[in-house]
A and B are shown apart, each in its own frame.
Chain A
Amino acid sequence: MNAPLIEIDNISFEYEQTKALENISLTVEEGDFLAILGPNGSGKSTLLKIMLGLIKPTKGAIRLFGVDAKNFKNREWIGYVSQKSNSFNSGFPATVEEVVTGGLVKKTGLFRRIPKHAKANVKEALEAVGMEAFMDNRMNELSGGQQQRVFIARALVAKPKVLILDEPTVGIDHRNVQSFYNMLASLNRDKDITLVLVTHDVDTVTDRITHVACLNQTIHFHGFKDQLHTMSDEQREAWYGHSVRKIHHIGGSHSYD
């Protein structure tokens, strides 16, 4: 068994007396490529914010790298890629290099300058996502998928051990989604980065994930992707409503390689 990096122990979260999450337990181990799937409003973003320590659960405990989240200090170990569409200011006058360098802010610390030699790390992070040729381009010259790769590079530059991605394929051209997932899979495999991604779009989720968690207020399934077929139709129905057939391609014989 690999070392557990994120341990969520029986947490619940209420937002203005509405239950968003109920009795969630989930463990992310080193090397996992976990997809948390669920329909809109199923509490995915809330769970993600709890993992990042941005909000505290109403009940339950969370441990990051074996340490209680309250006392966890090494925030730079967890990289975060937010939903592209609502997060950044698209006309912003900044180059790809400047944006990726911004990923070093927390690691560098207050009142310190980002060292000159960090440029090598920025280049390396951009190479990992196949964007090194665009270093001097302005952000608004890039396509949605390219921008998303830059945001991943920004998370990678601080050398995180876990990367958490919120709806990473929103805004990416359908034809490019698979190559985007291939890039994530190679980060997982070659750079030993544990990946957690959250999405409502079960259609586009790749076969390259190792684990799946099906979320809708509570966890309906959590385990290896290959065991997903053990979920009964009733369980699927309870989790995703009527449009459950879509999920069959994951864990089946179908492969996108």
Chain B
Amino acid sequence: MIEAILSYEFLQNAFAAGLIIGVIAPLLGVFIVVRRLSLIADALSHVTLAGIAGSLYLSQSVAAFAMLNPLFLGIVASVAGSVLIERLRSLYKHYEELAIPIILSAGIGFGAIFISLAEGFSTDLFGYLFGSVSAVSREDLGIVIGIALIVFAFVRLFFKELFVLSFDDEYAKASGLPAKWIHFLFMIVTALVIAGSMRIVGILLVSSLMTIPVAAAMRMGQSFKGTIFWSVIFGEVSVLTGLITAFYFDLAPGGTIVVTSILLLLLVIGYKKITVSMKKGAVV
């Protein structure tokens, strides 16, 4: 495997991007899960699909778009989607969750139109939907690195505010934190991570890399920082195992990564059950 990575550039790109995504997706995912925003990640990934399908379609008809990495329009759509979700949430104050299906369907709707308008990018599209080991370009890797730097800077600068906001919204506002602004920035960074992770795990499975490792970590970690630590570990193990299996068996990496993370989750649940019952046994 290591020999293959050293000799093929596409594998270097895929593994480097995968390793980075394995950290940033679960890192941000912890905040998404504890703030009960898991479904927003899903909505945003479908909006990203619309942006990418739009870009692929335009690249066939407009010369300027032929040179453009579809990821860029994907990022634009995702960020626009996150802003729209916030607007809709404040419009429907008592039915905030309504914003999610609206944006999600809008994303699929536009995506479906662009896909049917354009003929002949089904292979590209398959890669975008379920991830790809071979399609990650140097440019894609550059974008992922850029997004990772933004994520690290954001979490480093706002960690304590994000923690307080996630734990207790009302207290955060009462103590005078700029809660609205931090939440807005958080949504934009989430949109970036979704667009960036999509190359490896695919649009349909992006949100699972932000939630399943966290679900497992919440059973392992005693503290908040411990939960983050375990989320990243589970994320990395899923991405690495998933990519290697996908490469050897010629499978879509999105599928192998997510199935690995589910297996890890089951292992953790089983392990916790056993240790808890052993503890109880010891007491008796």
Contact = CB atoms under 8 A, between A and B. Distances in A.
B175 to A, nearest CB: 5
Nearest to B214: A93
A54 B170 CA distance: 11
A105 B34 contact: no
Nearest to B156: A113
Interface string B138-169: 00000000000000000001101101101111
B161 A110 contact: yes
Interface stretch (A80-88, A126-134, A190-198, A217-225): A80-88
A256 interface: no
Nearest to B173: A54
> Which of A99, A105, A108 has the most B CB atoms < 10 Å from its CB?
A105
Contact of B160 (A52, A87, A114): A114
Given A88-B168, A94-B167, A82 B174 contact: yes
B224 A98 contact: yes
Contacts of B218: 93
> Which of B163, B164, B174, B223 has the most A CB atoms < 10 Å from its CB?
B174
**B: interface residue count bin:** 20 to 34
A102 B173 contact: no
Contact of B222 (A82, A138, A154): A138
B173 to A, nearest CB: 7
Interface string B220-238: 0111111100000000000
> Which of A52, A75, A102 has the most B CB atoms < 10 Å from its CB?
A102
Contacts, number: 81
Interface in A66-120: 75, 80, 82, 86-89, 92-95, 97-99, 101-106, 108, 110-111, 113-114
B171 interface: yes
A14 interface: no
A80 B175 contact: yes
A89 B168 CA distance: 7
A88 B177 contact: no
A93 B227 contact: yes
B168 A75 contact: no
Interface in B161-198: 161, 163-164, 166-178
Contacts of A108: 160
Closest 3 CB pairs of A and B: A94-B224, A95-B223, A93-B227
26 contacts: A80-B174, A80-B175, A82-B168, A82-B174, A87-B170, A87-B171, A88-B167, A88-B168, A89-B34, A89-B167, A89-B168, A92-B34, A93-B222, A93-B223, A94-B163, A94-B224, A95-B224, A101-B160, A102-B167, A103-B175, A105-B164, A110-B157, A113-B160, A136-B222, A136-B223, A138-B222
Interface of B: 34, 36, 157-158, 160-161, 163-164, 166-178, 218, 221-227
